[in-house]
Amino acid sequence: MIRGIRGATTVEENNTGSIIEATLEVMKQIQDKNNVVPEDISHIMITMTDDLNATFPARALRQLDGYQFVPVMCAQEISVPDGLKKCIRLMVTVNTAKRSDDIHHVYLKDAVKLRPDLALTNKQESR
């Protein structure tokens, strides 16, 4: 079965180091909390808000073992008035036998505001 795993985080500054570090942090948590290996991943879509443009966040994933053949696409998130600023969002599409309610979505830093329902659920040790 194909499932989507969502993740999002924010950065303080628009610079390469911050974007790479934040993208790695959220991707590693998605990977660890869902027992995902690169071979399970169909593709990854990453968006950033229009106030982030210092680098492509996909560069971060190239630092992870096994990700050289995972298709990754970056795009700009829709600019919504009063929307969350300096935000990086990921949609990781995976092949898994897990049920949708067994997927652990990862929202970090100010991105918790996007889906507080999922952020609170994922703080539990077990579901």
From the list 13, 67, 107, 125, the catalytic residue is 107
Is the domain covering 2-121 a CATH 3.30.420.40 domain? no
Enumerate the domain spans of the chain: 2-121
Q: What is the pLDDT of residue 51?
A: 98
Tell me: pLDDT of 123 over 80: no
Q: Using 50, 70 and 90 to split pLDDT, how confident is the model at 104? A: very high
- Are 111 and 84 contacting, i.e. CB atoms less than 8 angstroms apart? yes
Q: Per the structure block, which two tokens stand in for 103? A: 């997927």
State yes or no: is 115 an active-site residue.
yes
Instruction: Dump pLDDT digits (tens) for 18-53.
Output: 999 999 999 999 999 999 999 999 999 999 999 999
113: Cα separation from own chain's centroid? 15
Q: Per the structure block, which two tokens stand in for 62? A: 């190239």
From the list 6, 12, 13, 25, the catalytic residue is 6
What's the mean per-residue pLDDT of the chain? 93
Instruction: Dump pLDDT digits (tens) for 71-92.
Output: 999 999 999 999 999 999 999 9
From the list 89, 99, 125, 127, the catalytic residue is 89
State yes or no: is 99 an active-site residue.
no
